Structure formats: C-alpha cells, structure tokens
Amino acid sequence: MLNMLEPLLDIPTVYYGALVGIGFCVYYLFEVVKTPMLVCANGPFRSFLEEHVPLVRNKFWPTLWCFESRAQTIMASILRSRILPPIVYRREILTLSDGGEVALDWAEEGSSVTSPIVIILPGLTGASQAEYIKCLVSAAKKVGIRCMIFNNRGLGGVELKTPRTYCAANSDDLSEVVDHVRKLYPHVPVGATGISMGGLILGNYLAQQGTMARNKLKGCFLISVPWNVFAATKNTEENYFNLMMNKYLAGTLRKNIQRLHYATEAGFFDVDIETLLKSQTVREFDSHFTVKQFGYRDVEEYYSNATIHDKLHLIDVPLLCLSAADDPFQPVQAIPLKEISETKKVAVVVTSRGGHIGFLEGVWPVKEEQYMGKLFSQFFTALFTTGVDHQML
C-alpha cells in the first residue's frame, strides 16, 4: 500500500495548491455566482422591473474571499465604515402630535427643491451616519435623488421628550413624517426605503395605510427585512455566531435605554430597569421593555403584530425588496416566496449570498458604489424618471 502512495509524495506541493485553487474557483463560479431570483406575480410591476432595473437580470458576484453569510454581514459593516466618509446633513427637528421629537436628516448636496425624495428608515439601532445609510445616500446623490433619514425617537443624538421609543409594529411616527414631507413638497415625487427593522416599520405602514398610501408614496424598497419575526429571532438564537450578533444588538439596545432612562433623576421609563439591563438577547429585551412600552400582552403578541409576511396582500404601493438566501437574521425558508409570487404590487430579489445588509461584490469591495446602492438607485430612478404611472404598476 505504501508503495502505491510513494508516487503521490513526489508531486510538488505547488500542484496540490493549484488543484485546491481550481476547485475553489469551480465552486465559486457554479455554486456562489448566480442570477438572483426575481419573485413577483406576472403583471405591470414585474414587467417594469425587468425592463427598467437591469440588476434583476444580472448575476451577483459576491466578494471572492468573503461570501459566507456572517463574513458578508460583518465585513460589509467594517469596510463601509472605513471607506464611506461622513454625510453632511441638514437637520430638521419634527415635533410629533404627542409632544415627542424626531430628527429628520436631509442629504441635499447636488439636488434642488424639485428633486425627488426618498425617506430612509434605518435598522434596529441605526441612525443617519450608519454605514449602510451612507451607502444608499452616496448612490442617491449620483442620480440626483434627495434622501431624508428618519431617525427613530431617542436616536440620532436627540433626547426623548416623552417616555416612548419605537417598535417594529408601530408606524404612527412614520405616518406623521410622511405627511410632513408631503406637506413640505406637495408636487415632488416621494419614495421610502426601510432597512432591516426599518423595513418592518415601513412594511407595516404600507399594510395599514392600504390604498391611501398610493397618494403619498410612489414606490418603496426594503433591504434585508425580517419578514417573519418569529423565524428571525429563532434563527439568531440557534448557533454560536448568530447568537453573538443577537447579543451584540441586545447590548446596544440596553445601553441606549440605560442612557435615556438615567437622563432624569427619577428615571424616564416605568419599567424594572435592573431586570431590563440583564437582557441577553433581543427577545429578552423586547419582553422586558418593548412589550410594556406598547401595551402588548407578551412578546408573542408583539412579534405577531410586527411580522409582515402575512400582510402582503394589503400593500397597494409598488414595493421592491432585496433579501439574501443566507441572511443569518432571516432564513430563506421564512421568506414568503409563495405569497409574493401571487402579489402584483410586491417583488423580491433574492441573492444566493449576501448576509444581512451585506451584498459585497467584486474582488476588493471598497468602491462607494455597491450592489444594494445600485439596486436602490436603479429602482427609484426608473420610478421617478421613466414617466410610468405608479398607480398602474
């Protein structure tokens, strides 16, 4: 037996390296690089996307050395935070009907008062300088679109005026923000984009508004939205790496609430703050804080209200969504592909790789122009400039 193996031992190591390299390239080309799925019912909206948004027909080339889901998620955040400069905004403080305040940050460089507007809703703990927000703003600037980032209560450097924050199921604040923008610019087309939890808030807004939203928003775009909140939270608690990301988010939420709570001597929130600060996961945080803030019976009732996978039939505004099949926050089996395939107003582009708000592409993804930014700008440019009547989509 040893005699039979001796010829293999004489093969130079470089050949083994070459074989491994060839094998990796074959795997990358045939298993990683794929044309995204475009899921949408046949009709005007699908035809519009296929004709005017070229990216839905092209292959997605995930970064060669970074195509695993968690690597995409983490490296996208690191790289964007380093290569994308801070955005200079014009800040507007909007006082809401209950006395609360939110910061609206306007990115207007290179635009005019007649330029179309996209309202952007950040993720769970994000604000206007989040790296993924800067990616979208950079893409919008190149095509002459104004962006307005809606920072949730208590975020973006604005202190709370009332003991109320925000949650995925409540779109009251967004409704006031949209109406405010429409009042300021009644003759300018307006769209909206939600990232991760911001996508849940926007999705719930669209479902709750129904046909009324058609007169306010020309189209909407969701990125890495956790369609089914139950599946999303379960997935982030199942293995070590996902759980670490879950705990990181929970830690950020705890620190934010701790800062806001102790802004007054008596404590701002009527909650058991000591128990709250022991929350180790987002689910525990929601159980101890969000549920009590918004009057839910328990976290199951809150998540049932927050999830949007069963509300798509209520949406009457053209809605394009971008999801990755390997998103650690949303397993592909929980993306409501069957429901979307029967819905003429909702479409989803599903890439085989991309992680959560990742979608890094190319050998060295350090360009300001990135995949999700390109899809964002192609979609809204088509909506705002092609002359297509969005009411007919």
Spot the catalytic one: 115, 196, 279, 323: 196
Can you tell me the distance from the alpha carbon of 132 to that of 358, in angstroms, rounded to the nearest whole number? 9
Q: Which residues contact 387 (CB under 8 A, 6 or more apart)?
A: none
Mark whether 327 is an active-site residue.
yes
Can you tell me the distance from the alpha carbon of 375 to that of 27, in angstroms, rounded to the nearest whole number? 26
Tokens of 53: 């948004």
- Host H or E run for residue 95: strand 90-95
Mark whether 288 is an active-site residue.
no
Cβ atoms of 102 and 158 within 8 Å: the answer is yes
Find the radius of gyration of the CA atoms of the chain: 22
Question: Among 365, 375, 368, 116, which residue's Cα sits nearest to residue 224?
Answer: 375
Tokens of 298: 């328990």
Spot the catalytic one: 327, 352, 377, 390: 327
Mark whether 196 is an active-site residue.
yes
Spot the catalytic one: 115, 356, 377, 390: 356
Q: Read out DSSP for 62-125?
A: B-TT--SHHHHHHHHHHHHHHHSPPPP-EEEEEEPTTS-EEEEEEE-TT--TTS-EEEEE--TT
Could you list the active site residues? 196, 327, 356
